[in-house]
Structures are given as C-alpha cells and as structure tokens.
Amino acid sequence: MRLSQMLFVTLRDDPADAEIPSHKLLLRAGYIRRIGSGIYAYLPLMWRVLQKVSQIVREEMNATGAQECLLPQLQPADLWKESGRWDTYTKAEGIMFSLIDRREQQLGLGPTHEEVITAIARDMIRSYRQLPLHLYQIQTKFRDEIRPRFGLMRGREFIMKDGYSFHADEASLKETYQDMYKAYSNILRRSGLAFRAVEADSGAIGGSGSTEFMVLAEAGEDEVLYTEDGKYAANVEKAVSLPIDAETSRFTTYEKRDTPGTETIEKVCQLLNCSPTQLVKNVLYQTVYDNGITVLVLVSIRGDQEVNEVKLQNELTKLAPEYGAKTIISLNVPNVEAQQAWTAKSLPLGYIAPDIADEYINANKQIHPKFLRLVDQTAVDLKNFVTGANEAGYHVVGANWGEHFKLPRLVVDIRKARPGDRAIHNPEQTLFSARGIEAGHIFQLGTKYSQAMGATYTNEQGEEKPLLMGCFGVGVSRLAQAAVEQSYDKDGIIWPVAITPYHAIVTIPNIKDAQQIEIAQKLYTELNQAGIETLLDDRDERAGVKFKDADLIGIPYRIVTGRAIANGKVEVVERATRNSQEIVIEEVTTTLK
Ligand code: ATP
Ligand code: MG
Ligand code: MG
Ligand code: MG
C-alpha cells in the first residue's frame, strides 16, 4: 500500500480524552477514530491488526477441533427469559442493549451467546454420539458498559471470539477446558504478549471453575495476586490467603476456636466460587520431608466441623493420587459411618485425634477398628509419627489438621487476599500484586444453561441428561490494544511482528529524486511479492515527518532509500531496537525474510 493513496492522518499531540498510552497512540497513529462513547471505527491499519489477531485465534481454535460459525447478534428476549438472565442483563445496571421491534417484540443485542447456543444445542444435539462438540465465532459484541474507557479496552461495541462446548461428562468438559487453557496461552504467546493465567471469579456468566488470561500492564483494570514460585495466581476478586500474623513461627498458631461456625462446605465453596476439589487444593499444604515422606496437610475450614471434614476428606481422597499420597491419615473423622466410608475406600490408615477419641469414648460412640488411636496425648511430632507409620509398613501419608502435632496447627479463616499475605499453598510464599488486562476468560459452565433451557442428550444407557457446557472468550480488539500497552516508546507503537499491520515500510526521503523513487518502488514490489507486507511512503513530505510517522505507527522495519543508494545500499532500521544497518539493495528481501 502506498501512503499517498491511504487515508493516512496522524496527530502530533495527544488527544484530550485519551488517558492511557495505547489509547493515545492508536488515536494519534490513525488506527482508530472515536464515533461515540465506547464506539470506535477500526481504520484500515487497525483492521489489519485485528485480522491478524483473529487469524491466530482461528488457527489455535481449529487446532483443538473447534468449529467456526456465526451466531445472530439480535437475540429474542424470550431466550434470555428462559435462562433467567433477561432482567439482570437489561435492568438496573445491566449491560445488555435492548430494543423493541415493529411487532412489539423485545430483543437484545448480544453481549454474549450462551442462550443462543444452548437453544441450538437443544434443537440439534440428541445423543452422546454427537459429543463432545465445540462451536466458536469471531464477532462484534455489544455491552452498555457503565464506564466505557481506554479506547478498545472497554468499548460498548467490541470484537470477541466466543466459543461454547458441549459434553456428556465432567471429564470431557475438563479435557476441553485444558485444551482451551493451552490454546489461549498459545494465542497470547504467539501475539507477542507477556501474560499470566489466573484463577478467576465466574461472575454473571456462572459455572464453577474459571481462568482469566491477564496481559500484564500498569494500565490494567484488574489486580492479580501471585507468588514467586509460580504456583498461585488469582484475580484479587477471587484470591484467598492465610491471614498475616505477627508471630514469626513458620506457621501461625491460632487459638483454638471453641465455637464452630455454621458454614457448610457448599456455602464455603459458593462463597469462594469454587468446587470442593478446588477448595481442598486451596487449603492443601504439602511438605516433603528429607526422608522422602510426603505429608499433605489439609487445613481445616472453620465451620460445621463434622460435615466439612468428611467432605473435605473425601475430596482429599480423590486428590491423593495427584500428590502421590498412597495413604491418608485422617484426623477427627467424626462418626463411625464416616470412618467406615473412609476405610471402605481402602485407605489403610485413619487416625482419631486424642481429644476427640476421648470424647467418643465418653459419649460411648464407636470407633472403627481400622482407625488408629493415638493414646499419647503429649504432642506427637508428625514427622516421627509418619516415620513410624512408614516403618510399620504403611506407605506415604496424607494428613489433615495438625493440631495435635508439633506441626502446623492451622485453623484458617480463608479470606479475601491482599498483597503481602501468606499464600495458602505454602505459608512461606507471599502474595505479590500486579496489574493486568483481562484478555481472555475460560469457564466450566456445567449445566447452568442446559438445565434452565432444557438442553439434554441421551446417554449410552438411554437416559436423558442435561448437557455439560464450557464457554471460552477472547477479547480480540482488547488484546490488540493490550499489545500496544505492552510495547511502545516515546516515539510511538512497537508492534509485535505477529500482529503488525505491515512488516516493513519503504521510506523515500526525497520524492524529487528519481533514483530514490525507482529503488524504493522496486524494493516495495519485491518485498510484497516475497510475502513481506510492505508500505511505501511516497508522500510529498519532509523526510523528518516520514520518519516520525513510521516510528509512530510502529512498523517493525523501515527501509530508507537515502544517501546510501550511491553505494548500492539502503538503510534498514529496526523499530524496536533502533539498530540501523546499511544493506546491499539486492539483499534486502532475503535479509528481512
Ligand atoms: P471485564 O471484567 O473487563 O468487564 P468481562 O469479564 O466482563 O470483562 P467476559 O464476559 O469474560 O468479559 O468476556 C470475554 C472477554 O471479552 C474478556 O476477557 C475481554 O477480553 C473481552 N471484553 C469484555 N468486555 C469488553 C469490553 N467492554 N471491551 C472490549 N473487550 C471486552
Ligand atoms: Mg465486564
Ligand atoms: Mg472480568
Ligand atoms: Mg471475564
């Protein structure tokens, strides 16, 4: 493309209404124009960037077996009434634009597509043989944001890739979720972005597990808490931690709480928006002793002890293999039924804490014979206990609740985390804070929509079951701007090569010089033919203006047909590093390729 023929208008000064660097730069460099609050035109350079991001997204999605489609943006209110979301999305602070057609029918402009896709699945999916299935689209979404700002970062009209998957069972949903985790990581990595995947809140979309993909940047509207060992990262809305304590011991000893709370596991999970398995993972603390014994300590959740502990222990049983634990020592298994259930799972060793055991005996409650009762009330070092157990032929160990050992005596109020808190997976790790831009979000929806809307399938046994669903969104236009937010300098944008609108720009310093023009045009043609997408700055402007513009729009390579042509060379400048090299004209294409 020749700049002389393009709608190419750059601004010298920062536009008044732009607050963050990427927004200023995209406006100044002529990529976007504001049409209204949160409404932007994507001009030709921007559109090329968006197409490149879309293409990367498409390739990564297709590689997982997902299929592209295009769903309607105009959505009948009835569908949203079926799912129960119409009121919350359109009233009060709802983000859905709604309208009434000439037949007085209510419609909404799609902010997301769970309802539409569930209606399709309800119609078309009959049997487990059709599963799993994953459909996605790349499309404009509409959201009447309370605070549209920062240009494409938070628009009221923006481009999203949204995908929806359908499954017969939890395992299949989890598999696709993992595939998407990888696909999203690939998308961001390939787009040249530094990011972090974090545990997230599922918000109004609903469902159990969700992960956000955060592009790290100061201007990010989200706060992420993470540990340096890389084992914990969560959106601050979701993050949990151990309380900070003035005591300096490795583990905080909390006073025994005499008044058990009333929270059930379900409530705690709801509160923290996680599944019981995730909850257990969050409160699991792992130590590997020098003798190779692994101890898993399950931190007790304050609450209805009996109910909670049994459920947590059940979850722990499921998790044990993941941590390589072959035996689980269970403390405080509250009743004989629970103990039976416990041992029935062929977990060879159980343990009742001494005080509880006494309580049991005093109350004439039974203790399952397989449960070991430690009579020695004086604090037992878990390490010795475990070693003893090992010597007695029991293999590795998981345990919960170290109150009766010298080991961590943790009662945890899982709480909303703040920077500086101790991490839940390892109290030695502290939580650090970083700003992030949410570029993608993947969800395990479960049966929320299929149940509400009656989308079922027939399983192998001939039974009718609600479909399990996942949903996966990437903000294509937000991601494109986030790339700028991560990569610019005082002179302008520095595009990552993978999503740059053009790879190179041939600049003619003096268009009165016929030789400069000739060489520039030859290079321009040759580069484009070689697949290096190239612009030609053939405008009647001063060289300085052209150089400034090339820097501003952020094209990775600038080729200048200046003085060096006398020696059969051109100057090639790399935008990111400003490295400048004189290269023999005939070798430019092969060098850049
Ligand atoms: P946010 O928390 O920033 O409001 P969200 O959680 O509401 O985003 P999702 O419903 O998870 O967004 O949508 C998936 C993706 O769509 C987001 O991860 C983000 O990249 C993008 N997105 C959401 N809202 C906007 C918007 N107003 N403008 C641009 N992109 C958006
Ligand atoms: Mg939002
Ligand atoms: Mg969000
Ligand atoms: Mg989100």
Residue by residue, DSSP assigns 378-407 as: S-B-HHHHHHHHHHTT---EEEE--TTBSS
Residue in 136, 149, 160 to alter for ligand 1 test, most ligand atoms within 8 A of Cβ: 160
Alpha helices in 283-434 (DSSP H): 305-319, 336-344, 354-362, 382-391
Distance 201 CA to ligand 4 centre (A): 8
pLDDT at 303 over 70: no
Mean pLDDT of the chain: 81
pLDDT digit string, tens, across residues 82-122: 999 999 999 877 999 999 999 999 999 999 999 999 999 99
Which residues have C-beta within 8 Å of that of residue 179, sequence separation ≥ 6?
Answer: 64
Residue 321: predicted pLDDT: 64
Residue 260: predicted pLDDT: 32
**CA 552 to centroid of chain Cα atoms:** 31
Distance 39 CA to ligand 4 centre (A): 20
Distance 438 CA to ligand 4 centre (A): 7
The pTM for the full model equals: 0.76
Which residues have C-beta within 8 Å of that of residue 482, sequence separation ≥ 6?
Answer: 22, 153, 193, 215, 217, 437, 439
Residue 120: predicted pLDDT: 98
Burial 145-169 (b: 16+ CB within 10 A, else e): eeebbbbbbbbbbbbbbbbbbbbbe
Of 477, 471, 479, 472, nearest in space to 439 by CA: 479
Summarize the confidence of residues 153-177 as an average pLDDT: 97
Lookup: tokens for 31? 């990529």
**CA 384 to centroid of chain Cα atoms:** 42
Of 334, 338, 335, 336, nearest in space to 317 by CA: 338
Summarize the confidence of residues 509-523 as an average pLDDT: 97
DSSP letters of 527-564?
HHHTT--EEEE--SS-HHHHHHHHHHHT-SEEEE-SGG
Which residues have C-beta within 8 Å of that of residue 167, sequence separation ≥ 6?
Answer: 131, 132, 173, 176, 467, 468, 469, 470
User: In a 3-state reduction of DSSP, which class is residue 33?
Assistant: strand
Q: Indicate whether this complex's ipTM tops 0.90.
A: yes
Of 528, 527, 516, nearest in space to 590 by CA: 527
Which residues are within 5 Å of ligand 3 (an ion), measured at CB? Answer: 438
Summarize the confidence of residues 481-509 as an average pLDDT: 98
pLDDT at 244 over 70: no
Q: Lowest-pLDDT range, 71-75, 141-145, 209-213?
A: 209-213
Distance, in Å, from the CA atom of 19 to the CA atom of 302, rounded to the nearest integer, reads 45
Distance 438 CA to ligand 3 centre (A): 6
Lookup: tokens for 139? 């499309």
Distance 474 CA to ligand 3 centre (A): 11
Atom nearest to 437 CA in ligand 1: 3
Per-residue confidence band for 365, with pLDDT thresholds at 50, 70 and 90: very low
Lookup: tokens for 394? 């029991």
Alpha helices in 454-512 (DSSP H): 476-486
The C-alpha angle with vertex 238 and arms to 180 and 318, in degrees rounded to 5, equals 65
Cβ atoms of 204 and 88 within 8 Å: the answer is: yes
Identify the residues whose C-beta falls under 6 Å from ligand 1: 112, 143, 145, 154-155, 158, 160, 203, 205, 438-441, 473, 475, 477-478
pLDDT at 152 over 50: yes
Per-residue confidence band for 235, with pLDDT thresholds at 50, 70 and 90: very high
The C-alpha angle with vertex 114 and arms to 111 and 120, in degrees rounded to 5, equals 125
pLDDT digit string, tens, across residues 24-72: 999 999 999 999 999 999 999 999 999 999 999 999 999 999 999 999 9
Pairing assessment for the beta strands 411-412 and 415-416 based on DSSP bridges: unpaired
pLDDT digit string, tens, across residues 168-219: 999 999 999 999 999 999 999 999 999 999 999 876 666 667 999 999 999 9
Which residues have C-beta within 8 Å of that of residue 65, sequence separation ≥ 6?
Answer: 134
Distance, in Å, from the CA atom of 175 to the CA atom of 183, rounded to the nearest integer, reads 12
Of 229, 239, 253, nearest in space to 412 by CA: 253
**CA 523 to centroid of chain Cα atoms:** 43
Atom nearest to 440 CA in ligand 1: 18
User: In a 3-state reduction of DSSP, which class is residue 318?
Assistant: helix
Atom nearest to 205 CA in ligand 1: 10
Determine which residue's CA is closest to atom 31 belonging to ligand 1: 475
